Amino acid sequence: MRVDPFDAVLFDLDGTLCRRTQDTQAMYDRMFDRVGEPRFGDPEDLWATLDGPPDHDDPVGYFAVGFTRLAAQHDRSNVDPIALSRALLTVIDDSAVEFLPGAEEAVTRAAATGAVGVVTNGPEDRQRTKLDALGVTDRFDVLVYGAELPRSKPHALPFDRAIDALGVDAGRTLYVGNSLEYDVAGAQNAGLSTVWLRDGGNAGAYEPDHVVDSLVELPAILAGDR
Ligand SMILES: [Mg+2]
């Protein structure tokens, strides 16, 4: 008889369990309408100006830097980047999310073998909205929001919080995430085993314990078959 290799499975949220379904072009137009400015650029141009992942401590400042750069590219340096940034945060609909392939079943299967949780870097209000929209909030035994803690992923703290809350061993806990830098390295900092959900790239210098192209593959890992 095979012994279950994991007592708990923790998941990243964005890009691992779910993705956004909002029409980003329409969102972008609504943002300009709100501030009464003629549109410039595209959502993709804006994302390209941003430095690294979202700064959850200062989301307005994070996007304002991007708008300042984008405005300069379009000779629109008279616009108010702070106003655009605030408008963007208003028009983003966090309830417009859907499960990534295999994600809902992966949570169900993980819950059947042990404790399950979410460790995300986002703020509680935005991430709870997504989980509620997906209808899975109550299926998790622990929810940890890095933005609400002194340190977020890849620091070990958010993982430690989840482990402590569940009363399980880090060495018998699996973390599933789509970021090598924040999820794989972070979980390894806390002593967890890791599954990297890759986006077509390769792991480079990182060493996840398992690599999958979709969460459809997770049940086999949970069963110890690979
Ligand atoms: Mg992610």
The environment of the single-atom ion ligand 1, i.e. residues with CB closer than 5 A, is: 12, 14-15, 178
Cα–ligand 1 centroid distance for 79 (angstroms): 32
| Domain 8-20+96-222: which CATH number of 3.40.50.1000, 1.10.8.60, 3.40.50.2300, 3.60.15.10 | 3.40.50.1000
The sheet carrying 142-145 orders its strands as 142-145, 115-120, 8-11, 173-177, 193-197, 210-212
Cα–ligand 1 centroid distance for 18 (angstroms): 9
d(CA 11, CA 215): 11
pLDDT tens digit at each of 226 positions of the chain? 455 689 999 999 999 999 999 999 999 999 999 999 999 999 999 999 998 778 888 999 999 999 999 999 999 989 999 999 999 999 999 999 999 999 999 999 999 999 999 999 999 999 999 999 999 999 999 999 999 999 999 999 999 999 999 999 999 999 999 999 999 999 999 999 999 999 888 999 999 999 999 999 999 999 988 7
Task: Enter the DSSP assignment of 126.
Answer: H
Cα–ligand 1 centroid distance for 3 (angstroms): 30
Domain boundaries, the chain: 8-20+96-222, 24-91
Cα–ligand 1 centroid distance for 19 (angstroms): 9
Cα–ligand 1 centroid distance for 179 (angstroms): 6
